[in-house]
Each structure stands twice: as C-alpha cells, then as structure tokens.
C-alpha cells in the first residue's frame, strides 16, 4: 500500500481561491448561482438552496453530525434535534426528533434482512444506537461493557461502523480513544487503542468507516488531532495496526467510501478526495477565509456558496454526487453534483 504526504493539496486548493473570493463579494442570499469546485474527475457543482425550507431557512437546526444515503437514494443527516431524511431534490421526507434520536455525531445505514438500520454514535448521550431507518424503532444500545475491565470511564462516542459479518466498532474518540468491538447482537468482544501521538495511538479517533477498497476490508480511522497534522490510519478487524495511510491533513473528521474513492471532510473548511493509492486528487469547498474555517458560529446570512466552514460529515449517492454537512450553528447541509 502506498503512503503519501499531502504536498499536492495546497496547489489544488489555490486554484479555486480567486473564484471563491469573487463569489463571496457578489453573492446575493437566496439567489446564488451554482459554484464549481474540485478538480479533474472529482469536479462538482453546488446546488444552491438545496435542503432549505421554502422561505430559505435551514430545515434542520444546529449540526454536529453525519450524512448517510439509503438504497432508495434518500439522504439522512443528523443534527442536535434528531435525524432528518431528504429526498434527492432536497425536501424533508421523514424525521426522527427528540431525546431518543438527538446528537448522533456519526451514523451509517446498513441493510439487514431486507430492512435498513441506522447505526449511530451519540457523543453527548454516551451510547451507540441502532434503529430502523424507516420506522424509527430502536433495537439496540451500546455502552461501555463491564467485561472490558476499564471501570467507570468517560464515554463520548464519536464514530461507528459495521463489518460485513455484523460486528460493530464504536470509537470513544472524545474521551479515552478506545475503539470497542461488539458482535452483531451487541455482545462485547474486545477493545484496542489509547490516547497519544505515537504511531499506534489516537489523539481523537474522531471518524471511522469500513474501508472496502481492500480485501479483506479494514478499518479506516481519522486521527483528527494528531500532532503535528491530522492523519488517517488502517487497522484490521482484530484491532491490529496496519499502517499510516496518509498524513499532513488538517483536522479530518470522517471518511466515506465509494468504489476506489474516499471523501474526507476537514474541520478547517474543505473536503479532500483520495484515490485507491491514497493520493489527494481533489480539494473541494476550500474556504478562502481562514477565520471561517473550523468555525461553528457562522450564521446562515454569512454562508458562501461553494465555501465550507466546519466540514464534518459526507456521503456519496449512487451517481457519485456528494452530500456534505458543516458543523454549524444554523444547520448546513449541501449537495454537490459531480460534473460528468
């Protein structure tokens, strides 16, 4: 496997800065034109106003969560209020609101026995959760198991993913940085990892997914606050360290796979796309204003079309379009249509 530094990302990002700056000075709220961002085969056009209410306001409220797409093409995103499902056209078609569904920091959708289930990591509520994506029925909750022998630790899960056999991985990324492994029924199997800046340690194991680009599949984990720069790591499904995938990132928050490609939101206000060799091939939504990167308190009237602020979650649809969520006080979810 090839490991690389992101020396090319600055050049890719620089190419879009003048256009973004011009767009910021000319944008009229509610009347923005589509903005083209990215490069090469991973070039996208934004869809202005996608996901907003008819009056132009955000439909979801404060966001600090994830994005996932079901087999019908509906787009789910998590917010402080709960989980919202949008049609590909940007209309809310379903929602699960209230304390049972709030604060899903990360989530994935998985088909099991003809049904679809959402697996979520609820950092503020100290649990993992599994519920039916179409009925809302909660069928499983995951907590720190006594069998782990860790005592009463702080539990703030930030990421969740599921292996092909149904084993569940839940990262305690805002606390001890252990990654817990459970079987498909929620029985504790093992845990691995610890906090630190060493090669086989995590300084905020923030995001995680099953990396299906390889056989056998492995875990792809965002070490968001690693010093001096954020990075991605590979571990096998038994918790054994494989290697450092890529370093030199800003603050990678999550990872989403489609085919040979990986989208990696960066909290600094951009999203990078890697190919199967883990080379950066596109930088999307780079914010030209460093004060608006890594920023939660950007009100809707200061959003800039095509410029992200606190990029937190992403997901691909079957056509290769991207849906991206910002960590944002007003609740920002964007659709980017891939340019063919």
Is 326's pLDDT higher than 80? Answer: yes
pLDDT of residue 19: 42
Ranges of H-type helices in the chain: 9-14, 17-26
The angle formed by the CA atoms of residues 272, 274 and 276, to the nearest 5 degrees, is 170
Tokens standing for residue 129: 């959760």
Is 26's pLDDT higher than 70? Answer: no
Instruction: At 202, give phi and psi (nearest 5°).
Output: -120, 130
**Domain covering 4-338 in this structure, CATH number:** 2.120.10.30
| pLDDT (mean) for 331-335 | 98
Beta bridge partners of 52: 58
pLDDT of residue 32: 81
Write the CA distances from 34 to 27, 217, 287, 330, integer angstroms: 11, 37, 16, 21
Long-range Cβ contact pairs of 113-122 (< 8 A, separation 24 or more): 116/70, 116/71, 118/68, 118/76, 118/83, 119/160, 119/161, 119/162, 119/168, 120/66, 120/78, 120/83, 120/160, 121/157, 121/158, 121/159, 121/160, 121/170, 121/171, 122/157
How far apart, in whole angstroms, are the C-alpha atoms of residue 219 and residue 275?
16
Q: What percent of the chain has pLDDT over 70?
A: 91
pLDDT of residue 29: 46
**39: confidence class by pLDDT, cuts 50, 70, 90:** very high
Per-residue model confidence as pLDDT tens digits over 252-298: 999 999 999 999 999 999 999 999 999 999 999 999 998 899 999 99
Query: Where is 83: in which H helix or E strand?
Result: strand 82-86
Tokens standing for residue 196: 């630190």
Where in the chain are the domains? 4-338
Per-residue model confidence as pLDDT tens digits over 1-22: 444 433 344 343 334 433 444 3
Is 206's pLDDT higher than 60? Answer: yes
Per-residue model confidence as pLDDT tens digits over 49-74: 999 999 999 999 999 999 999 999 99
Per-residue model confidence as pLDDT tens digits over 92-151: 999 999 999 999 999 999 999 999 999 999 999 999 999 999 999 999 999 999 999 999
pLDDT of residue 299: 97
**332: confidence class by pLDDT, cuts 50, 70, 90:** very high
pLDDT of residue 237: 98
How far apart, in whole angstroms, are the C-alpha atoms of residue 222 and residue 234?
9
**pTM, to two decimals:** 0.91
């Amino acid at each position: 496997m090839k490991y690389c530094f992101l020396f090319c990302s600055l050049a890719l990002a620089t190419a879009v800065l003048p256009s973004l700056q011009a767009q910021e000075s000319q944008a009229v709220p509610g009347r923005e034109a589509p903005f083209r961002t990215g490069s090469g085969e991973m070039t996208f056009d934004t869809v202005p106003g996608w996901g907003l209410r008819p009056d132009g306001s955000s439909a979801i409220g404060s966001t600090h969560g994830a994005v996932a797409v079901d087999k019908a093409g509906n787009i789910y995103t998590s917010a402080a209020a709960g989980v919202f499902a949008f049609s590909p056209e940007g209309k809310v078609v379903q929602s699960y609101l209230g304390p049972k569904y709030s604060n899903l920091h990360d989530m994935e959708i998985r088909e099991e026995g003809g049904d679809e289930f959402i697996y979520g990591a609820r950092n503020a509520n100290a649990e993992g959760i599994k519920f039916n994506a179409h009925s809302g029925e909660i069928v499983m909750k995951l907590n720190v198991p006594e069998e782990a022998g860790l005592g009463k630790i702080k539990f703030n899960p930030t990421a969740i993913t599921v292996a092909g056999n149904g084993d569940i991985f839940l990262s305690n990324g805002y606390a001890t940085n252990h990654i817990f492994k459970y079987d498909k029924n929620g029985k504790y199997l093992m845990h691995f990892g610890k906090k630190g800046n060493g090669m086989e340690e995590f300084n905020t194991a923030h995001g995680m997914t099953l990396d299906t680009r390889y056989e056998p599949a492995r875990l792809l984990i965002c070490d968001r606050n690693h010093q001096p720069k954020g990075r991605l790591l590979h571990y096998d499904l038994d918790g054994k360290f494989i290697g450092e995938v890529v370093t030199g990132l800003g603050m990678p928050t999550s990872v989403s796979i489609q085919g040979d490609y990986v989208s990696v939101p960066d909290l600094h206000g951009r999203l990078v796309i890697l190919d199967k060799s883990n080379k950066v091939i596109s930088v999307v939504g780079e914010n030209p204003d460093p004060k608006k990167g890594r920023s939660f308190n950007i009100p809707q009237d200061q959003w800039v079309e095509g410029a992200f602020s606190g990029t937190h979650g992403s997901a691909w649809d079957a056509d290769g379009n991207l849906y991206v969520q910002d960590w944002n006080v007003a609740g920002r979810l964007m659709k980017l249509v891939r340019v063919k």
